[in-house]
Chains A and B, each alone.
Chain A
Amino acid sequence: MNATAAVLDSRTDIPSALDVAGLALARDLRLAFRKRDEIVQPLAFFAVVTTLFPLAITPELSRLRESAPGVLWVAALLAALLALEHLFREDARDGTLEQYALCGRSLTLLLYAKTAAHWLLTGLPLALLAPFAGMALGAPAHALAGIVITLAIGTFALSLIGAISAALTLGTRRGGMLLSLLTLPLAVPILIFGAQATELAMRAQSFAAPLELLAAFAVLGVTLAPLAAAAAVRISLE
Protein backbone atom coordinates (compact mmCIF):
# COMPACT_ATOMS: atom_id res chain seq x y z
CA MET A 1 0.00 0.00 0.00
CA ASN A 2 2.75 2.45 0.97
CA ALA A 3 4.81 1.44 -2.03
CA THR A 4 1.84 2.22 -4.27
CA ALA A 5 1.43 5.62 -2.62
CA ALA A 6 5.13 6.35 -3.11
CA VAL A 7 4.90 5.49 -6.81
CA LEU A 8 1.79 7.64 -7.14
CA ASP A 9 3.45 10.53 -5.33
CA SER A 10 6.42 10.48 -7.70
CA ARG A 11 4.16 11.13 -10.69
CA THR A 12 2.95 14.65 -11.29
CA ASP A 13 0.15 13.83 -13.74
CA ILE A 14 -1.91 12.02 -11.08
CA PRO A 15 -3.84 13.99 -8.42
CA SER A 16 -2.29 14.03 -4.92
CA ALA A 17 -3.98 12.48 -1.90
CA LEU A 18 -5.46 15.84 -0.86
CA ASP A 19 -6.74 16.51 -4.39
CA VAL A 20 -8.39 13.09 -4.42
CA ALA A 21 -10.07 13.88 -1.10
CA GLY A 22 -11.25 17.21 -2.53
CA LEU A 23 -12.67 15.40 -5.56
CA ALA A 24 -14.50 12.95 -3.30
CA LEU A 25 -15.96 15.85 -1.30
CA ALA A 26 -17.09 17.67 -4.45
CA ARG A 27 -18.59 14.47 -5.85
CA ASP A 28 -20.66 13.82 -2.73
CA LEU A 29 -21.94 17.41 -2.65
CA ARG A 30 -22.85 17.33 -6.35
CA LEU A 31 -24.66 14.00 -6.01
CA ALA A 32 -26.63 15.28 -3.03
CA PHE A 33 -27.71 18.47 -4.80
CA ARG A 34 -28.96 16.39 -7.70
CA LYS A 35 -31.02 14.26 -5.33
CA ARG A 36 -32.26 16.81 -2.82
CA ASP A 37 -34.48 14.41 -0.87
CA GLU A 38 -31.53 13.28 1.19
CA ILE A 39 -30.88 16.84 2.36
CA VAL A 40 -34.51 17.77 2.94
CA GLN A 41 -35.74 14.62 4.66
CA PRO A 42 -33.59 14.78 7.84
CA LEU A 43 -34.59 18.45 8.21
CA ALA A 44 -38.27 17.61 7.81
CA PHE A 45 -37.84 14.79 10.34
CA PHE A 46 -36.20 17.22 12.79
CA ALA A 47 -39.08 19.68 12.34
CA VAL A 48 -41.70 16.97 12.84
CA VAL A 49 -40.06 15.63 16.01
CA THR A 50 -39.78 19.11 17.55
CA THR A 51 -43.46 19.62 16.72
CA LEU A 52 -44.41 16.42 18.52
CA PHE A 53 -43.07 17.60 21.86
CA PRO A 54 -45.41 20.57 22.40
CA LEU A 55 -48.27 18.31 21.35
CA ALA A 56 -47.19 15.66 23.84
CA ILE A 57 -46.14 17.88 26.75
CA THR A 58 -47.90 21.26 26.77
CA PRO A 59 -48.45 24.25 24.49
CA GLU A 60 -47.36 26.68 27.26
CA LEU A 61 -44.10 28.30 26.22
CA SER A 62 -42.99 28.86 29.80
CA ARG A 63 -43.05 25.12 30.50
CA LEU A 64 -41.69 24.16 27.07
CA ARG A 65 -38.72 26.44 27.61
CA GLU A 66 -37.43 24.20 30.41
CA SER A 67 -37.25 21.15 28.20
CA ALA A 68 -36.29 22.99 25.00
CA PRO A 69 -32.50 22.21 25.05
CA GLY A 70 -33.16 18.52 25.60
CA VAL A 71 -35.86 18.39 22.94
CA LEU A 72 -33.65 20.17 20.40
CA TRP A 73 -30.69 17.90 21.03
CA VAL A 74 -32.62 14.63 21.07
CA ALA A 75 -34.41 15.61 17.85
CA ALA A 76 -31.11 16.64 16.22
CA LEU A 77 -29.46 13.39 17.35
CA LEU A 78 -32.28 11.29 15.88
CA ALA A 79 -32.30 13.23 12.61
CA ALA A 80 -28.52 12.93 12.26
CA LEU A 81 -28.77 9.22 13.03
CA LEU A 82 -31.35 8.76 10.31
CA ALA A 83 -29.08 10.49 7.81
CA LEU A 84 -26.07 8.37 8.84
CA GLU A 85 -27.58 5.31 7.21
CA HIS A 86 -26.94 6.85 3.79
CA LEU A 87 -23.35 7.89 4.55
CA PHE A 88 -21.77 4.76 3.04
CA ARG A 89 -24.61 2.48 2.01
CA GLU A 90 -25.09 3.60 -1.62
CA ASP A 91 -21.35 3.87 -2.22
CA ALA A 92 -20.82 0.40 -0.82
CA ARG A 93 -23.59 -0.99 -3.02
CA ASP A 94 -22.32 0.43 -6.33
CA GLY A 95 -18.66 -0.35 -5.60
CA THR A 96 -17.42 3.23 -5.10
CA LEU A 97 -16.06 2.43 -1.64
CA GLU A 98 -14.13 -0.50 -3.05
CA GLN A 99 -12.58 1.78 -5.66
CA TYR A 100 -11.68 4.26 -2.90
CA ALA A 101 -9.97 1.48 -0.96
CA LEU A 102 -8.08 0.27 -4.05
CA CYS A 103 -7.07 3.64 -5.52
CA GLY A 104 -3.78 3.66 -3.60
CA ARG A 105 -4.55 6.92 -1.84
CA SER A 106 -5.26 7.14 1.88
CA LEU A 107 -8.70 5.68 2.54
CA THR A 108 -8.74 7.56 5.85
CA LEU A 109 -8.48 10.89 4.04
CA LEU A 110 -11.16 9.90 1.53
CA LEU A 111 -13.55 8.87 4.31
CA TYR A 112 -12.73 12.11 6.07
CA ALA A 113 -13.87 13.94 2.92
CA LYS A 114 -17.04 11.86 2.78
CA THR A 115 -17.78 12.57 6.45
CA ALA A 116 -17.18 16.28 5.97
CA ALA A 117 -19.56 16.29 2.98
CA HIS A 118 -22.11 14.43 5.08
CA TRP A 119 -21.88 17.06 7.80
CA LEU A 120 -22.16 19.92 5.31
CA LEU A 121 -25.31 18.28 3.91
CA THR A 122 -27.04 17.23 7.15
CA GLY A 123 -25.39 18.64 10.28
CA LEU A 124 -24.92 22.22 9.17
CA PRO A 125 -28.45 22.67 7.71
CA LEU A 126 -29.79 21.14 10.91
CA ALA A 127 -27.86 23.65 13.02
CA LEU A 128 -29.16 26.50 10.85
CA LEU A 129 -32.74 25.28 11.13
CA ALA A 130 -32.51 24.75 14.90
CA PRO A 131 -33.01 28.44 15.92
CA PHE A 132 -36.49 28.38 14.36
CA ALA A 133 -37.35 25.21 16.22
CA GLY A 134 -35.79 26.79 19.31
CA MET A 135 -37.97 29.90 19.03
CA ALA A 136 -41.03 27.72 18.63
CA LEU A 137 -40.06 26.02 21.88
CA GLY A 138 -39.69 29.33 23.71
CA ALA A 139 -35.94 29.94 23.43
CA PRO A 140 -35.12 33.65 23.91
CA ALA A 141 -33.57 35.56 20.99
CA HIS A 142 -30.17 35.94 22.70
CA ALA A 143 -29.78 32.15 22.81
CA LEU A 144 -30.15 31.56 19.08
CA ALA A 145 -26.47 32.11 18.17
CA GLY A 146 -25.47 29.71 20.94
CA ILE A 147 -27.89 27.09 19.62
CA VAL A 148 -26.38 27.30 16.13
CA ILE A 149 -22.76 27.08 17.35
CA THR A 150 -23.32 24.18 19.74
CA LEU A 151 -25.37 22.19 17.25
CA ALA A 152 -22.88 22.81 14.44
CA ILE A 153 -19.98 21.47 16.51
CA GLY A 154 -22.06 18.70 18.06
CA THR A 155 -23.36 17.37 14.74
CA PHE A 156 -19.82 17.46 13.34
CA ALA A 157 -18.57 15.26 16.19
CA LEU A 158 -21.61 13.04 15.71
CA SER A 159 -20.94 12.63 11.98
CA LEU A 160 -17.38 11.55 12.76
CA ILE A 161 -18.36 9.05 15.46
CA GLY A 162 -21.32 7.86 13.43
CA ALA A 163 -19.04 7.17 10.47
CA ILE A 164 -17.43 4.37 12.49
CA SER A 165 -20.71 2.62 13.24
CA ALA A 166 -22.05 3.30 9.73
CA ALA A 167 -18.95 1.57 8.33
CA LEU A 168 -19.23 -1.29 10.83
CA THR A 169 -22.83 -2.06 9.90
CA LEU A 170 -22.03 -2.20 6.17
CA GLY A 171 -22.90 -5.62 4.87
CA THR A 172 -25.23 -6.48 7.74
CA ARG A 173 -28.82 -7.34 7.05
CA ARG A 174 -30.75 -5.05 9.38
CA GLY A 175 -28.60 -1.95 9.41
CA GLY A 176 -30.80 0.84 10.78
CA MET A 177 -31.71 -0.42 14.24
CA LEU A 178 -28.21 -1.73 14.86
CA LEU A 179 -26.71 1.57 13.73
CA SER A 180 -28.69 3.42 16.43
CA LEU A 181 -27.75 0.85 19.07
CA LEU A 182 -24.05 1.23 18.23
CA THR A 183 -23.98 5.02 17.84
CA LEU A 184 -26.14 6.34 20.66
CA PRO A 185 -24.07 5.07 23.63
CA LEU A 186 -20.94 6.48 21.98
CA ALA A 187 -22.70 9.80 21.39
CA VAL A 188 -23.73 10.31 25.04
CA PRO A 189 -20.94 12.83 25.83
CA ILE A 190 -22.01 14.96 22.83
CA LEU A 191 -25.61 14.96 24.02
CA ILE A 192 -24.67 15.81 27.61
CA PHE A 193 -22.39 18.75 26.85
CA GLY A 194 -24.39 19.97 23.87
CA ALA A 195 -27.62 20.15 25.83
CA GLN A 196 -25.79 21.74 28.76
CA ALA A 197 -24.26 24.44 26.54
CA THR A 198 -27.64 25.16 24.96
CA GLU A 199 -29.28 25.43 28.36
CA LEU A 200 -26.63 27.87 29.60
CA ALA A 201 -27.05 29.90 26.40
CA MET A 202 -30.79 30.10 27.02
CA ARG A 203 -30.18 31.37 30.56
CA ALA A 204 -27.85 34.03 29.08
CA GLN A 205 -24.89 32.57 30.98
CA SER A 206 -21.44 31.75 29.63
CA PHE A 207 -21.54 28.38 27.89
CA ALA A 208 -17.82 28.34 27.06
CA ALA A 209 -16.97 25.37 29.30
CA PRO A 210 -19.37 22.78 27.83
CA LEU A 211 -18.76 24.18 24.34
CA GLU A 212 -15.02 23.65 24.74
CA LEU A 213 -15.59 20.08 25.90
CA LEU A 214 -17.84 19.55 22.89
CA ALA A 215 -15.10 20.94 20.65
CA ALA A 216 -12.61 18.61 22.38
CA PHE A 217 -14.78 15.62 21.39
CA ALA A 218 -14.92 16.92 17.84
CA VAL A 219 -11.11 17.17 17.78
CA LEU A 220 -10.80 13.65 19.19
CA GLY A 221 -13.23 12.52 16.49
CA VAL A 222 -11.23 14.30 13.78
CA THR A 223 -8.03 12.59 14.83
CA LEU A 224 -9.28 9.05 15.52
CA ALA A 225 -12.68 8.39 13.95
CA PRO A 226 -11.73 8.35 10.23
CA LEU A 227 -8.92 5.89 11.04
CA ALA A 228 -11.37 3.53 12.71
CA ALA A 229 -13.94 4.06 9.94
CA ALA A 230 -11.31 3.21 7.31
CA ALA A 231 -10.45 0.00 9.18
CA ALA A 232 -14.18 -0.84 9.36
CA VAL A 233 -14.64 -0.21 5.62
CA ARG A 234 -11.68 -2.51 4.88
CA ILE A 235 -13.25 -5.24 7.03
CA SER A 236 -16.54 -4.86 5.15
CA LEU A 237 -14.70 -5.28 1.82
CA GLU A 238 -12.79 -8.43 2.86
Chain B
Amino acid sequence: MSWTWFHRFGSPPHVYRLARTLTPWFAWPAALLMLAGLYGGLVLAPPDYQQGEGFRMIYVHVPTAYLSIMIYTTMGVAAAVGLIWRMKVAHAVAASCAPIGASFTVAALATGSLFGRPMWGTYWEWDPRLTSELLLLFLYLGYMGLRSAFDDVQRADRASALLAVVGLVDVPIVHYSVTWWNSLHQAPSLLRFGRPTIYTASMLVPLLIMILGFTLYFVAILLMRLRGEVLRRERAASWVREALAS
Protein backbone atom coordinates (compact mmCIF):
# COMPACT_ATOMS: atom_id res chain seq x y z
CA MET B 1 0.00 0.00 0.00
CA SER B 2 1.25 3.43 -0.89
CA TRP B 3 1.68 5.89 1.95
CA THR B 4 2.04 9.00 -0.22
CA TRP B 5 -1.42 10.24 0.77
CA PHE B 6 -0.29 10.21 4.40
CA HIS B 7 3.07 11.85 3.77
CA ARG B 8 1.38 14.69 1.89
CA PHE B 9 -0.21 15.75 5.20
CA GLY B 10 3.32 16.48 6.38
CA SER B 11 3.67 19.19 3.78
CA PRO B 12 2.54 22.62 5.03
CA PRO B 13 1.65 24.06 1.56
CA HIS B 14 -0.47 21.02 0.77
CA VAL B 15 -2.28 21.23 4.11
CA TYR B 16 -2.76 24.97 3.71
CA ARG B 17 -4.40 24.55 0.31
CA LEU B 18 -6.45 21.57 1.46
CA ALA B 19 -7.71 23.50 4.49
CA ARG B 20 -8.67 26.45 2.30
CA THR B 21 -10.59 24.21 -0.12
CA LEU B 22 -12.37 22.25 2.60
CA THR B 23 -13.43 25.11 4.91
CA PRO B 24 -16.66 26.07 3.03
CA TRP B 25 -17.61 22.39 2.71
CA PHE B 26 -17.80 22.23 6.49
CA ALA B 27 -18.90 25.78 7.28
CA TRP B 28 -22.07 25.88 5.14
CA PRO B 29 -23.49 22.49 6.18
CA ALA B 30 -22.70 23.47 9.78
CA ALA B 31 -24.67 26.71 9.45
CA LEU B 32 -27.64 24.97 7.79
CA LEU B 33 -27.68 22.10 10.32
CA MET B 34 -27.46 24.47 13.28
CA LEU B 35 -30.33 26.58 11.94
CA ALA B 36 -32.42 23.44 11.32
CA GLY B 37 -31.52 22.04 14.74
CA LEU B 38 -32.39 25.32 16.48
CA TYR B 39 -35.76 25.49 14.71
CA GLY B 40 -36.46 21.86 15.58
CA GLY B 41 -35.33 22.28 19.18
CA LEU B 42 -36.86 25.64 20.01
CA VAL B 43 -40.09 25.47 17.97
CA LEU B 44 -41.02 21.95 16.92
CA ALA B 45 -40.01 19.93 20.00
CA PRO B 46 -42.66 19.77 22.74
CA PRO B 47 -41.78 21.06 26.23
CA ASP B 48 -40.44 18.42 28.60
CA TYR B 49 -43.06 16.98 30.95
CA GLN B 50 -40.79 17.56 33.97
CA GLN B 51 -38.44 20.37 33.05
CA GLY B 52 -40.84 22.44 30.93
CA GLU B 53 -39.39 24.91 28.45
CA GLY B 54 -36.11 25.05 30.34
CA PHE B 55 -34.98 21.74 28.93
CA ARG B 56 -34.38 23.41 25.55
CA MET B 57 -31.01 24.49 26.90
CA ILE B 58 -29.74 20.99 26.11
CA TYR B 59 -29.75 21.82 22.41
CA VAL B 60 -26.72 24.03 23.08
CA HIS B 61 -25.43 22.51 26.32
CA VAL B 62 -25.04 18.89 25.17
CA PRO B 63 -23.23 19.67 21.87
CA THR B 64 -20.77 22.08 23.56
CA ALA B 65 -20.08 19.66 26.42
CA TYR B 66 -19.57 16.80 23.98
CA LEU B 67 -17.24 18.93 21.83
CA SER B 68 -15.18 20.08 24.81
CA ILE B 69 -14.15 16.46 25.41
CA MET B 70 -14.03 15.47 21.73
CA ILE B 71 -11.66 18.38 20.98
CA TYR B 72 -9.39 17.44 23.87
CA THR B 73 -9.19 13.92 22.46
CA THR B 74 -8.47 15.27 18.97
CA MET B 75 -5.78 17.50 20.44
CA GLY B 76 -4.19 14.62 22.35
CA VAL B 77 -4.19 12.32 19.32
CA ALA B 78 -2.76 15.05 17.06
CA ALA B 79 -0.11 15.79 19.68
CA ALA B 80 0.81 12.10 19.93
CA VAL B 81 1.10 11.88 16.13
CA GLY B 82 3.33 14.95 16.21
CA LEU B 83 5.52 13.47 18.95
CA ILE B 84 5.85 10.04 17.39
CA TRP B 85 6.30 10.91 13.70
CA ARG B 86 7.77 14.39 14.33
CA MET B 87 5.08 15.86 12.09
CA LYS B 88 4.98 19.65 12.20
CA VAL B 89 1.45 19.86 10.82
CA ALA B 90 0.11 17.57 13.56
CA HIS B 91 1.57 19.95 16.16
CA ALA B 92 -0.11 22.82 14.33
CA VAL B 93 -3.44 20.95 14.52
CA ALA B 94 -3.01 20.35 18.27
CA ALA B 95 -2.08 24.00 18.84
CA SER B 96 -5.13 25.16 16.86
CA CYS B 97 -7.45 22.83 18.78
CA ALA B 98 -6.68 24.21 22.25
CA PRO B 99 -8.33 27.67 22.10
CA ILE B 100 -11.40 26.23 20.34
CA GLY B 101 -11.72 23.49 22.93
CA ALA B 102 -11.31 25.97 25.77
CA SER B 103 -14.05 28.16 24.26
CA PHE B 104 -16.45 25.23 23.97
CA THR B 105 -15.65 24.27 27.56
CA VAL B 106 -16.51 27.81 28.71
CA ALA B 107 -19.72 27.62 26.64
CA ALA B 108 -20.61 24.26 28.21
CA LEU B 109 -19.95 25.66 31.70
CA ALA B 110 -22.01 28.78 31.03
CA THR B 111 -24.98 26.90 29.56
CA GLY B 112 -24.70 24.28 32.29
CA SER B 113 -24.86 26.95 34.96
CA LEU B 114 -27.83 28.65 33.25
CA PHE B 115 -29.43 25.21 33.02
CA GLY B 116 -28.77 24.72 36.72
CA ARG B 117 -30.70 27.83 37.75
CA PRO B 118 -34.21 26.47 36.95
CA MET B 119 -33.30 22.81 37.64
CA TRP B 120 -31.34 23.01 40.89
CA GLY B 121 -32.22 26.53 42.00
CA THR B 122 -28.61 27.77 41.87
CA TYR B 123 -26.24 28.83 39.14
CA TRP B 124 -23.46 26.65 40.46
CA GLU B 125 -23.71 23.27 42.04
CA TRP B 126 -20.62 21.15 42.80
CA ASP B 127 -21.99 18.41 40.70
CA PRO B 128 -19.49 15.93 39.21
CA ARG B 129 -19.96 16.72 35.56
CA LEU B 130 -19.80 20.50 35.99
CA THR B 131 -16.74 20.04 38.19
CA SER B 132 -14.91 17.80 35.74
CA GLU B 133 -15.81 20.26 32.98
CA LEU B 134 -14.18 22.99 35.07
CA LEU B 135 -11.08 20.83 35.56
CA LEU B 136 -11.02 20.22 31.80
CA LEU B 137 -10.92 23.99 31.35
CA PHE B 138 -7.91 24.14 33.70
CA LEU B 139 -6.20 21.44 31.61
CA TYR B 140 -6.78 23.51 28.45
CA LEU B 141 -5.44 26.61 30.22
CA GLY B 142 -2.37 24.69 31.40
CA TYR B 143 -1.73 23.47 27.86
CA MET B 144 -2.01 26.96 26.41
CA GLY B 145 0.07 28.39 29.27
CA LEU B 146 2.84 25.88 28.66
CA ARG B 147 2.83 26.66 24.92
CA SER B 148 3.15 30.38 25.50
CA ALA B 149 5.94 29.93 28.07
CA PHE B 150 8.42 28.84 25.37
CA ASP B 151 9.96 31.19 22.84
CA ASP B 152 10.96 28.39 20.52
CA VAL B 153 8.04 26.91 18.55
CA GLN B 154 9.53 23.42 18.28
CA ARG B 155 10.15 23.09 22.01
CA ALA B 156 6.71 24.49 22.74
CA ASP B 157 5.29 21.89 20.34
CA ARG B 158 7.03 18.92 21.90
CA ALA B 159 6.60 19.90 25.55
CA SER B 160 2.92 20.77 25.14
CA ALA B 161 2.35 17.60 23.11
CA LEU B 162 3.68 15.51 25.98
CA LEU B 163 1.37 17.38 28.36
CA ALA B 164 -1.60 16.73 26.05
CA VAL B 165 -0.81 13.00 25.99
CA VAL B 166 -0.46 12.91 29.80
CA GLY B 167 -3.76 14.78 30.02
CA LEU B 168 -5.38 12.25 27.71
CA VAL B 169 -4.50 9.49 30.18
CA ASP B 170 -5.59 11.63 33.12
CA VAL B 171 -8.93 12.99 31.86
CA PRO B 172 -10.89 9.75 32.39
CA ILE B 173 -9.25 9.23 35.80
CA VAL B 174 -10.16 12.75 36.90
CA HIS B 175 -13.67 12.35 35.50
CA TYR B 176 -14.41 9.11 37.36
CA SER B 177 -12.79 10.33 40.59
CA VAL B 178 -15.02 13.36 40.53
CA THR B 179 -18.03 11.18 39.75
CA TRP B 180 -17.37 8.99 42.78
CA TRP B 181 -16.73 12.09 44.83
CA ASN B 182 -20.23 13.43 44.38
CA SER B 183 -23.25 12.39 42.35
CA LEU B 184 -26.11 14.83 42.11
CA HIS B 185 -26.35 15.30 38.38
CA GLN B 186 -29.21 13.79 36.44
CA ALA B 187 -28.13 10.69 34.56
CA PRO B 188 -26.71 11.36 31.09
CA SER B 189 -29.63 11.96 28.75
CA LEU B 190 -28.21 10.52 25.55
CA LEU B 191 -25.41 8.03 26.09
CA ARG B 192 -27.25 5.61 28.28
CA PHE B 193 -27.96 1.96 27.85
CA GLY B 194 -31.60 1.17 27.28
CA ARG B 195 -34.12 3.90 26.70
CA PRO B 196 -32.89 7.50 26.58
CA THR B 197 -34.57 10.04 28.85
CA ILE B 198 -35.48 11.97 25.76
CA TYR B 199 -38.43 9.92 24.64
CA THR B 200 -39.86 11.40 21.50
CA ALA B 201 -38.19 11.65 18.13
CA SER B 202 -39.20 15.31 17.88
CA MET B 203 -36.97 16.01 20.92
CA LEU B 204 -34.12 13.68 20.00
CA VAL B 205 -33.71 14.43 16.28
CA PRO B 206 -33.00 18.18 16.72
CA LEU B 207 -30.38 17.30 19.37
CA LEU B 208 -28.61 14.90 17.02
CA ILE B 209 -28.77 17.53 14.24
CA MET B 210 -27.29 20.12 16.60
CA ILE B 211 -24.47 17.78 17.63
CA LEU B 212 -23.60 17.10 13.99
CA GLY B 213 -23.86 20.82 13.15
CA PHE B 214 -21.60 21.83 16.05
CA THR B 215 -19.06 19.16 15.08
CA LEU B 216 -18.91 20.41 11.49
CA TYR B 217 -18.64 23.96 12.85
CA PHE B 218 -15.67 22.87 14.96
CA VAL B 219 -13.98 21.33 11.91
CA ALA B 220 -14.53 24.52 9.90
CA ILE B 221 -13.06 26.72 12.66
CA LEU B 222 -10.19 24.26 13.12
CA LEU B 223 -9.35 24.44 9.40
CA MET B 224 -9.39 28.25 9.52
CA ARG B 225 -7.16 28.37 12.61
CA LEU B 226 -4.90 25.72 11.10
CA ARG B 227 -4.35 27.93 8.04
CA GLY B 228 -3.36 30.82 10.29
CA GLU B 229 -1.10 28.57 12.36
CA VAL B 230 0.62 27.12 9.25
CA LEU B 231 1.13 30.61 7.79
CA ARG B 232 2.58 31.88 11.06
CA ARG B 233 5.02 28.98 11.28
CA GLU B 234 6.03 29.10 7.63
CA ARG B 235 6.16 32.89 7.34
CA ALA B 236 9.74 32.74 6.07
CA ALA B 237 8.97 30.22 3.30
CA SER B 238 8.62 31.27 -0.33
CA TRP B 239 5.38 29.34 -0.92
CA VAL B 240 3.65 31.58 1.63
CA ARG B 241 4.30 34.67 -0.47
CA GLU B 242 2.98 32.90 -3.57
CA ALA B 243 -0.09 31.58 -1.75
CA LEU B 244 -0.95 34.99 -0.33
CA ALA B 245 -0.36 36.73 -3.66
CA SER B 246 -2.75 34.46 -5.57
B146 within 8 A of partner (CB): yes
User: Whole-angstrom distance between the alpha carbons of A229 and B133 in the complex?
Assistant: 26
Contact residues of B between 132 and 146, Cβ < 8 Å to A:
135, 138-139, 141-142, 145-146
Q: List chain A residues, Cβ under 8 A from B149.
A: 169, 172-174, 178
Residue of B139, B145, B180 near A178 (CB, 8 A) is B145
The answer to whether B177 and A189 touch across the interface, beta carbons within 8 angstroms, is yes
Question: Is A182 touching B146 in the complex (CB atoms < 8 A)?
Answer: yes
In A69-128, which residues have CB < 8 Å from any B CB? Answer: none
Q: A181-209: which residues lie under 8 A (CB-CB) from chain B?
A: 181-182, 184-186, 188-189, 192-193, 196
The reply to whether A236 and B159 form a contact with Cβ atoms under 8 Å apart is yes
Identify which of A182, A193, A236 contacts B163 (C-beta below 8 A). A182
Q: B178 to A192, Cβ gap below 8 A?
A: yes
Contact with B along A144-185 (1 / 0, CB 8 A): 000000000000000000001100110111100010011011
Quick one: closest B residue to A184, CB to CB?
B138
The answer to whether A224 has its CB under 8 Å from any CB of chain B is yes
In the complex, the answer to whether A232 meets B138 with C-beta atoms within 8 Å is no
- Is there contact, CB below 8 Å, between A181 and B138? yes
For residue B233, CB closer than 8 A to chain A, the reply is no
Task: Indicate whether A235 reaches chain B with its CB closer than 8 angstroms.
Answer: yes
Contact among A168, A188, A228, A232 for B174, CB-based, below 8 A: A188
Nearest A residue to B138, CB-CB: A185
> Are the CB atoms of A235 and B155 closer together than 8 Å?
yes
In Å, the complex CA distance between A182 and B146 comes to: 8
Report Cα–Cα, A181/B137, bound state, in Å: 11
B158 at the interface (CB under 8 A from A): yes
Contacts of A238 in B (CB 8 A): 154-155, 158
Residue of A nearest to B176 (CB): A189
Q: Is the CB of B174 within 8 A of A189?
A: yes
Q: Other than A178-B145, A188-B174, A228-B166, give 15 A-B pairs with Cβ distance below 8 A.
A: A164-B162, A165-B163, A168-B159, A168-B163, A178-B146, A181-B138, A186-B170, A188-B177, A189-B174, A189-B177, A192-B177, A231-B162, A235-B158, A235-B159, A236-B159
Across chains A and B, which 3 residue pairs bring their CB atoms closest together, nearest first? A172-B149, A189-B177, A185-B138
13 contacts between A and B (CB under 8 A): A164-B166, A168-B163, A169-B149, A172-B149, A181-B138, A181-B145, A185-B135, A185-B174, A186-B166, A186-B167, A228-B165, A236-B155, A238-B155
Chain A residues near B (Cβ < 8 Å): 164-165, 168-169, 171-174, 178, 181-182, 184-186, 188-189, 192-193, 196, 217, 220, 224, 228, 231-232, 235-236, 238
